Amino acid sequence: MPDKCTITFKCEGRLFPVQYRSDGGITSPSEVGIVDWRVRGETKKNFLENQPLTFLNTSTGTSQQVVLAVQLDSDVGDNSTLELSLNQRVDSPKSNKAYVYRMDTSFSTASGVESGLEKKTLRYAITDTVEVFVNGVKQELGPVGLGTYDIYNGVALVPPNTIVFNPIIALSGTTQVDVIVSATSATIQSTLTFNRNADDESRLTTGSWENVSHVERFNGVTWQKWYLFTLDLRDATQLSLNTIMTATASAIINGTINAPASRMMMLMARQPYSILDRYTNFVVPLTTLTFERDYLKHFAVNGKAVLYVTETAKEAVYPSLRVIKFNVEKTIQKIIPGIVDQIVVDTSVIVGPDA
């Protein structure tokens, strides 16, 4: 049994074996209360960002309904419309260049000809994305603070094509600095028109939220009313396939009312889209969407266009949303076939009595 840690960072105790195995299968789960190992110097935030993304289908009905809940200061009519603009980028690998610098002494900048075999000279534009790694650990972009760096943006007091570190990096031995410069993809805008939910008997059985006028969400003081607007994705022909999207800062209701993105959230449901399949314990706020991590993804599955969202974009709601309906829903008196391969999404909030 080793007396000292050899790979863990800031170890608080002695290493001990958890389980002995004679095969190369999946390792046993970690002990409760013990933080999993990660690269030395890597923060928990960066560690989580490096995990693979999983996606949720935004469809809430058989017509691939996408449902938005909007908080407004005044009531709106049944014939109201909401125009939401989305920023679109092609979902393809970015063109990038990598530069390697090796420093034997303390340093505060990285620029010029690299130490790599190709001897490239560091070049980046204001619109490029610049990522910096020191000994494999990703650094944060910022003018001040430990483990940060700054780049030229046309205004900052940093020379062009130069990386400036704050503070000076002084590590023993040779320090390797990797700089990744990625070209920013072109962004276009597309406008989607959502229609206010109405008491339409022909649509009642087509989606989980069709019979819902609005939902109420508790803000810590009172219950706030959020009106529902629906779009049939199959009619959204202006969206290009194989693109990722984020929402703009606001939407327009009835051509005049400005609805900020901070007051809009996407509601979700699972198949087979019955009245029992509404998710009332989590939503997807539009303000959390970014091209770097959480975004909408439009692509084709089995020849049909779908709109997915990253699972990390969801936000737990407690207490659960209160659903205000147009009509009293009929009691379900027959078995509804489920979807065998569907994953039911949970949140981090557990509601109910303990054991």
DSSP for residue 207: B
pLDDT band for position 45 (cuts 50, 70, 90): very low
Give a yes or no: residue 347 inside a domain: no
Cα 351 to chain centroid distance, Å, stands at 25
Sign of CA dihedral 29, 30, 33, 35: negative
Give a yes or no: residue 13 inside a domain: no
- Largest CA-CA distance found in the chain, in angstroms, rounded: 76
Ordered alpha helix ranges (H), the chain: 44-49
Give a yes or no: residue 232 inside a domain: yes
Smallest Cα–Cα separation from 124: which of 89, 166, 95?
95
pLDDT(139) > 70: yes
Select the more confidently predicted residue: 49 or 312: 312
Cα 338 to chain centroid distance, Å, stands at 28
Residues 6+ apart with CB under 8 A from 218: 224, 319
pLDDT band for position 281 (cuts 50, 70, 90): very high
Examine the fold and report which residue of 182, 197, 232 is the final residue of a domain before the chain moves on.
182
| Structural domain count of the chain | 2
Give a yes or no: residue 60 inside a domain: yes
pLDDT score for 30: 54
CA-CA-CA-CA dihedral for 104, 106, 111, 113, to nearest 10:
-10
Most confident of 21-30, 34-43, 72-81, 144-153: 72-81
Same domain, 162 and 296: no
Region of 299 on the Ramachandran plot (φ > 0 left; ψ -120 to 50 alpha; else beta)? beta
Select the more confidently predicted residue: 280 or 148: 280
- 145-158 mean pLDDT: 78
What is the rounded distance in angstroms from the CA atom of residue 212 to the CA atom of residue 199? 9
Most confident of 5-19, 44-58, 221-235: 221-235
Select the more confidently predicted residue: 3 or 301: 301
The tens digit of pLDDT for each residue in 85-104 reads 999 988 877 778 899 999 99
CA angle, residues 56, 61, 67, in degrees to nearest 5: 70
The encoded tokens of residue 236 equal 């959204």
Contact 162, 144 (CB under 8 A): no
Smallest Cα–Cα separation from 248: which of 306, 183, 190, 309?
190
What is the rounded distance in angstroms from the CA atom of residue 284 to the CA atom of residue 313? 6
What is the rounded distance in angstroms from the CA atom of residue 59 to the CA atom of residue 37? 37
Q: How far apart are the first and last CA of the chain?
A: 38
Give a yes or no: residue 353 inside a domain: no
**Lowest mean pLDDT segment, chosen from 31-35, 316-320, 345-349:** 31-35
Burial of 84-100, coded b for 16+ CB within 10 Å and e otherwise, reads bebbbbebeeeeebebb
Contact 154, 160 (CB under 8 A): no
Select the more confidently predicted residue: 23 or 207: 207
Beta bridge partners of 257: 253
Give a yes or no: residue 12 inside a domain: no
Give a yes or no: residue 236 inside a domain: yes
Q: Provide the residue range defining the domain that includes 139.
A: 96-182
pLDDT(156) > 70: no
- 217-233 mean pLDDT: 93
pLDDT(64) > 60: yes
Same domain, 195 and 247: yes
Residues 6+ apart with CB under 8 A from 51: none
**Lowest mean pLDDT segment, chosen from 42-56, 61-75, 147-161, 255-269:** 42-56
Percent of the chain exceeding pLDDT 70 equals: 79
What is the rounded distance in angstroms from the CA atom of residue 227 to the CA atom of residue 193? 15
pLDDT score for 5: 58
Select the more confidently predicted residue: 126 or 36: 126
Same domain, 239 and 124: no
Average pLDDT, the chain: 83
Same domain, 121 and 229: no
pLDDT(192) > 70: yes
Give the phi and the psi of residue 313 in degrees, each rounded to 5: -80, -15
pLDDT(306) > 90: yes
pLDDT band for position 48 (cuts 50, 70, 90): very low
pLDDT(146) > 70: no
pLDDT band for position 8 (cuts 50, 70, 90): low
Q: How far is CA 172 from CA 100, 107, 176, 286, in A?
A: 18, 12, 11, 45
Contact 330, 336 (CB under 8 A): no
- 178-185 mean pLDDT: 86
Examine the fold and report which residue of 156, 182, 208 is the final residue of a domain before the chain moves on.
182
pLDDT score for 143: 66
Residues 6+ apart with CB under 8 A from 80: 195, 196, 227, 229, 253, 254
pLDDT band for position 166 (cuts 50, 70, 90): confident
Give a yes or no: residue 354 inside a domain: no
Examine the fold and report which residue of 182, 197, 229 is the final residue of a domain before the chain moves on.
182
pLDDT(266) > 60: yes
